[in-house]
Amino acid sequence: MKKLVLCSVLLICSFSSAQTTDVFQNVKELVNETTRVISVEKGQVIDTAYLRTLFLPTAHFSMVGQDNGVFMQETMGLGEFLGTLTDEYYSLGYHEESMGEIVEEYNGIAQVIQSFEGRDSDNVTGKGVNSYQLIYSEGRWWIANMVWAMSADDGKDIPIKYRNKN
């Protein structure tokens, strides 16, 4: 009986592991999964524990932009980034959608430049560009770093090549 229970547990664990890594075998699917997870309805919370599994533990997140004509940037680690996603701003509802992307991949590294539109609970929208750097390690893709910039003029300044769906 113990052997049967042990075999069942091992089978379930291997099935769960296979399902998890299948999602991360494709760069574009991993980026799309990231966008899906940060989009939540009012009253929901972003599953930061699951989101953590999409990134390397050493991942960095940088936001760049201009404030009154002054260039600024802010960089944070994975824990701090996930902490920002627990803010009430997101629990009131937030939706982000890709407008288009370019995927470049070579020998275990990948770069995705993705234009996006985000909409908050007040129906305020913002457009910008995400840059994902990814690596293939341990049999799957990981997001190593993410950099984003918001558009100053509702996306009109985003190059058309980043706005096309591939």
CATH of the domain at 156: 3.10.450.50
Residue 35 lies in a domain: yes
Confidence of residue 74 (pLDDT cuts 50, 70, 90): very high
Short-list 33, 44, 36, 84, CA closest to 61: 84
Distance, CA of 154 to CA of 73 (rounded, Å): 20
Residue 34 lies in a domain: yes
Residue 4 lies in a domain: no
Residue 8 lies in a domain: no
What's the structural domain count of the chain? 1
pLDDT tens figures, 110-126: 999 999 999 999 999 99
pLDDT tens figures, 13-70: 333 333 444 569 999 999 999 999 999 999 999 999 999 999 999 999 999 988 888 8
The model's pTM is 0.82
Residue 18 lies in a domain: no
Q: In terms of residue numbers, what domain contains 155?
A: 26-163
Residue with tokens 């190593």: 144
